[in-house]
Structure 1
Amino acid sequence: MGVDLRRAGPPGAPDTADPQPGAAPRPAGTPRAVGIAWGLLILNTLGSAGAKTIVPLPRSLIQIATMGALVAAFVLALALNLRLRIRAGAYLFLLTLLLVPSVISSAHLESGFGALFRCTRLALFIGTLWLLSRWWDGGPTFVRHHIRMYFAVLGSVAAGLVASPGAALPDLYGGRLVGALWPLTPPQIGQYAAVITGLAVLLLLGRRTDRVSAAVVIVPSLVLLALTHTRTATLGLFIGLALAIGSLVLTSAAARRFFSWAVLCGAVAAVALGPLLQTWFLRGQSKENFSNLTGRAKVWDALLAAPRTTTEQLFGVGLGDKSFGGLPIDNSWLAVYNEQGLTGIALVAAIFIVLGGIALLRPPSLARACAIFLISYCAIASYTEAGLGDASPYLLHLAVAASLLAAPAAAAPLPTPEVRPRQLPRWAKDRK
């Protein structure tokens, strides 16, 4: 893994801010198995639908692997936290409340028995996050796990590109990069590349890694992002980084220098490479196709025009595959409205309002900047990508943001060794 995950700062410096009064005791250390559990959650959210792979993988086999990863993550998290010590927070509380409209709507079986299965999956997903919340202490631990795991996923994409360029850049997707070893779509790859690029840049500015280690992650991730031609991920990366770095400008000289150079380079690139950037951005589409967001607007209009009962408006039709009329919805808010109703939209909006409000109220810090980047990226991507109402990478991104915004835990006091009085030798006692 390219990013140096060691602590920064002088020897003996704490990894997080000073503990606040009344904070829960912090565990002696984060077990390595926590990273394994986080990786299993990421594996579960990779999905089973996508491009054709070099070695055909039955979808049922992929679904067994992804669901098995979720069960394994829950069991492992439970084994690590047998005493059920958790860090209560608004994010997990609101996410748990989201189960209510999901179960109510899915119980009608309008979306089939698959809806109940997805509710069970979401419950296990949220339960695993509750168990892992014990180690949410405002530090960058889960940022590191996030970068490691998604960098490994991107490594498999790069390996597939080298092994079979034709399969990795198929005509079916307009020559955009897909997963040739695991069925990943261009938007998925673009999302993973954008997120870890942004986090690696912020770790570099916060002096939590060196330039070489950061470049090992940033450079190949940007190359893969460019090959996916994913506009949403690209905009989310740049806007999210602008907001995150802007939160550090007043307190970090490195952030000010980076921001100044980024603005200068962006202006030069816009002038010198304007036509090339426009061609990349349009992806060969007509202005009409671009204006209706590659046909998404037609699906959205049809979804909003469909008749609904009062119950369906309030609680939705149940968890499904994020499609309407056989076509993908590709909008988190409309997907939540379709599956969990207005209640689901209110809860998802509350998640963004609470996390964003907490981030704005915190003093400038690297943890706050990373949280702002993740929150803003998910908000931007929600317009053209679905996933905020079900187990997805977006909920994991927001979980990392919640872990960064958690109040630092107080270090548990070390046990004081019992001091026994010195025993005199028998010969000394006799002489005495």
Structure 2
Amino acid sequence: MGGDLRRGGLPGGPDTAGTRSGAEPRPAGTPKIVGVVWGLLILNTLGSTGAKTIVPLPRSLIQMITMGALLAAFTLALAVNLRLRIRASAFVLLLTLLLVPSMISSLQLESGFGALFRCARLALFIGTLWLLSRWWDGGLTFVRHHIRMYFAVLGSVAAGLVISPGAAMPELYGGRLVGALWPLTPPQIGQYAAVIIGLTVLLVLGRRTDRASAAVVIVPSLVLLALTHTRTATLGLLIGLVLAIGSLILTSAAARRFFTWAVLCAAVAVVGFSSALRAWFLRGQSQEYLTSLTGRAKVWDALLAAPRTTAEKLFGVGLGDKSFGGLPIDNSWLAVYHEQGLIGVALVAAIIIVLSGVALLRPPSLQRACAIFLISYCAIASYTEAGLGDASPYLLHLALAASLLAAPAAATPLSTPEVPPLSTPEVPRLSTPAVPRRRIPRWAQRSEVT
């Protein structure tokens, strides 16, 4: 693993010193503190509700930690970018515009003072993204930060499973894997595992990391994903990888080989393990219960049937906990409609459309493939998960996609050779041959004087 750090493997990151062929040049390099800021943003979006942990953690303490992480992230980002240098970003601009309906609806206090608190949190989150946009140069730096931090989160989940298997797979959640050290739900764990699996696979195909380092990330994450029994994350991973690898097929032989082997393995799995896969997919639920999306459809129908004023239709009722009638909404579009109205829905749709359009217009590359994977995963998960309208992991995934689609900054050489000033070459002077002086006789001089 130590050798991989030097060779630019997954944990080590790219070679910014220009000592390796194919290194990713950046104008001045990304400060290490930027990775710390990104990790703090991820910590802020882990949430404060979930399964019971081995050591009971009060919700107020968890909220204090997550909000403290956001404040620290904004402070550090401001400290490292005191001159407030930012890059133009349609993604962050649309997020900033999303604050308008959020503030208008939250000021009505229909959702209580907690709505104003969530608006302040969203504003700090967006402000931190603006400050970090200075280093969005189309490189893979933030991808590596993303994988490292979420892999650390999954490490805490695995540690809880080893320490207390009963607490990590409680009957309350049907024996699905939860966070026993930090309150994480099965969909959260499945989301984190699916995202880093997809990104790591793409890094391997792009030859930006070696297979040994990738296996350290992919294999444990696949095990945790299987233990969560999360259908949305699994489908998002498979469909997202198909679209991302499909964008590389014409330009990458490795992508073509991987796609061929993946299709063959999928066919064998469907034929040989169809009953086991069906049992895993159903999770012991009936076909009727699965058709109603595990009860989500009833909440959705009630939300759409609820009477609303014109202002509530346009601006929503204010940022809340993504629930309706005490039940989770579990749909990003309906949650945005409920809390930020039709204007919020239009802005979130514009974010997805703009990112997708930019990704389609970019030439084939590893960065484009990673962005396509993240965008498609978030679009698929938005049907059964909420989070596109508030500070959440899904907005961080889309922010990462925006950083990958940013135009590369002009490279600045690390050392500029000294060039001597231009000087005009000396032109040799043409010397006039000396003419012998004519001597005048004295008698002639006297006559001239006379």
TM-score, normalised with respect to structure 2: 0.89
Q: Following the alignment from structure 2 to structure 1, what is the Cα–Cα distance between the partners of residues 336 and 262?
A: 36
Q: For 1:299-310, list aligned pairs within 5 A.
A: 299-310=299-310
Correspondence 1:29 to 2:29: yes
Q: For 1:20-419, list aligned pairs within 5 A.
A: 27-412=27-412
Q: Following the alignment from structure 1 to structure 2, what is the Cα–Cα distance between the partners of residues 27 and 143?
A: 18
Stretch deviating more after TM superposition (275-284 or 6-15) = 6-15
Correspondence 1:13 to 2:53: no
**Does structure 2 conserve the Cα–Cα contact (< 8 Å) formed by 1:142 and 1:400?**
yes
Alpha-carbon spacing, 1:110–1:266, altered in 2? closer, same or farther (3 Å): same
The runs of 5 or more residues in structure 2 that have no matched partner are 2-8, 422-450
Q: Following the alignment from structure 1 to structure 2, what is the Cα–Cα distance between the partners of residues 279 and 165?
A: 22
Q: Following the alignment from structure 1 to structure 2, what is the Cα–Cα distance between the partners of residues 366 and 5?
A: 18
SS in 2 for 1:307: coil
SS in 1 for 2:191: helix
The runs of 5 or more residues in structure 1 that have no matched partner are 17-25, 422-432
Please list the CA deviations of residues 24-52 of structure 1 after superposition, one character each: whole Å capped at 9, or x if unmatched: xx541101110000000000000000000
Give, in angstroms, the shift of residue 288 of structure 1: 1.1
Q: Following the alignment from structure 1 to structure 2, what is the Cα–Cα distance between the partners of residues 374 and 58?
A: 33
Q: Aligned letter for 2:20?
A: P
> Aligned-pair RMSD on alpha carbons?
1.7
Q: Following the alignment from structure 1 to structure 2, what is the Cα–Cα distance between the partners of residues 175 and 13?
A: 47
**Does structure 2 conserve the Cα–Cα contact (< 8 Å) formed by 1:87 and 1:133?**
yes
Stretch deviating more after TM superposition (6-15 or 107-116) = 6-15
Give, in angstroms, the shift of residue 15 of structure 1: 1.1
Q: Following the alignment from structure 2 to structure 1, what is the Cα–Cα distance between the partners of residues 227 and 216?
A: 18
Q: Following the alignment from structure 1 to structure 2, what is the Cα–Cα distance between the partners of residues 70 and 121?
A: 8
SS in 1 for 2:24: coil
TM-score, normalised with respect to structure 1: 0.93
Stretch deviating more after TM superposition (144-153 or 3-12) = 3-12
**Does structure 1 conserve the Cα–Cα contact (< 8 Å) formed by 2:344 and 2:389?**
yes
**Does structure 2 conserve the Cα–Cα contact (< 8 Å) formed by 1:27 and 1:135?**
no
Q: Following the alignment from structure 2 to structure 1, what is the Cα–Cα distance between the partners of residues 113 and 10?
A: 43
Aligned match of 2:10: 3
Give, in angstroms, the shift of residue 10 of structure 1: 8.5
Aligned match of 2:438: none
**Does structure 2 conserve the Cα–Cα contact (< 8 Å) formed by 1:5 and 1:209?**
no
Q: Aligned letter for 1:394?
A: Y
**How many residue pairs align between the two structures?**
412
Question: Where in structure 1 do 4 or more consecutive aligned residues deviate above 2 Å?
Answer: 1-14, 411-421
Give, in angstroms, the shift of residue 12 of structure 1: 4.0
**Does structure 2 conserve the Cα–Cα contact (< 8 Å) formed by 1:317 and 1:340?**
yes
Give, in angstroms, the shift of residue 198 of structure 1: 0.1
**Does structure 2 conserve the Cα–Cα contact (< 8 Å) formed by 1:4 and 1:210?**
no
Q: Following the alignment from structure 1 to structure 2, what is the Cα–Cα distance between the partners of residues 258 and 415?
A: 40
SS in 2 for 1:409: coil
Give, in angstroms, the shift of residue 182 of structure 1: 0.1
When Rg is computed on C-alpha atoms for both structures, the one with the higher figure is: 2
Q: Following the alignment from structure 2 to structure 1, what is the Cα–Cα distance between the partners of residues 244 and 255?
A: 10
Give, in angstroms, the shift of residue 211 of structure 1: 0.4
Q: Following the alignment from structure 1 to structure 2, what is the Cα–Cα distance between the partners of residues 10 and 413?
A: 13
Give, in angstroms, the shift of residue 417 of structure 1: 8.4
Percent of paired sites with the same residue: 83
